[in-house]
C-alpha cells in the first residue's frame, strides 16, 4: 500500500511514509474495506471527505480531519469497526491511520501537516 509520499506533523514526527490517495468516487467508497490490518507507516488520504465510517472493517483506525490548508481540525483515536464519525463541514480531507499512530506521534488539533516526497 502506498506511494512515496511522507506526512509529517508540526513537531516533525512522521505520521505516514506510505500513503494511498483516494480521490476517485470508487477509491473513496472502497477505503480500507477488505483489508485485515494496516501496518505502521501506512495511511489512506481520502479527498474530498468530511466524514467516515468503519462499517465492514476488521480493525480500529486513527482518523484525522484536515482543513484545506492541512490544519488538523478533529481527531478520532482508535475508531472501532462498525462506527460512524461525526461530520465536519470544514474538513476537506481525512487521513486514516493505524490505531495508535496519533498517540505515538503526539499529533494534536491545530497541528499543520506537511507533505514530503513525490506524489503521483
For the chain, the structural domain boundaries read: 3-117
Asked if 15 and 113 touch (Cβ cutoff 8 Å), the reply is yes
pLDDT at 1 over 60: no
Q: What pLDDT shows up at residue 22? A: 82
Q: What percent of the chain lies above the pLDDT cut of 90?
A: 71
Q: Is 71 exposed, middle or buried (0-12, 13-18, 19+ CB in 10 A)?
A: middle
Q: Nine-digit cell at 18?
A: 506510505
Task: Classify domain 3-117 at the CATH topology level.
Answer: Jelly Rolls (2.60.120)
pTM score: 0.89
Contacts of 106 by beta carbon, 8 Å cutoff, 6+ apart? 9, 11, 13
List the one residue out of 32, 2, 1, 27 whose CA is nearest residue 119: 2
Closest by CA position to 65, among listed 15, 118, 110? 110
Q: Does 96 have pLDDT greater than 90? A: yes
Amino acid at each position: 500500500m502506498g506511494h512515496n509520499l511522507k506526512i509529517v506533523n508540526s513537531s516533525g514526527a512522521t505520521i505516514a511514509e506510505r500513503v494511498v490517495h483516494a480521490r476517485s468516487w470508487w477509491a473513496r467508497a472502497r477505503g480500507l474495506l477488505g483489508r485485515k490490518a494496516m501496518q505502521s507507516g501506512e495511511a489512506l488520504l481520502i479527498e474530498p471527505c468530511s466524514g467516515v465510517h468503519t462499517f465492514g472493517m476488521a480493525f480500529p483506525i486513527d482518523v484525522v480531519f484536515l482543513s484545506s490548508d492541512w490544519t488538523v481540525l478533529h481527531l478520532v483515536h482508535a475508531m472501532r469497526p462498525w462506527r460512524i464519525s461525526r461530520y465536519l463541514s470544514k474538513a476537506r480531507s481525512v487521513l486514516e491511520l493505524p490505531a495508535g499512530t496519533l498517540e505515538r506521534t503526539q499529533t494534536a488539533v491545530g497541528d499543520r501537516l506537511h507533505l514530503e516526497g513525490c506524489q503521483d
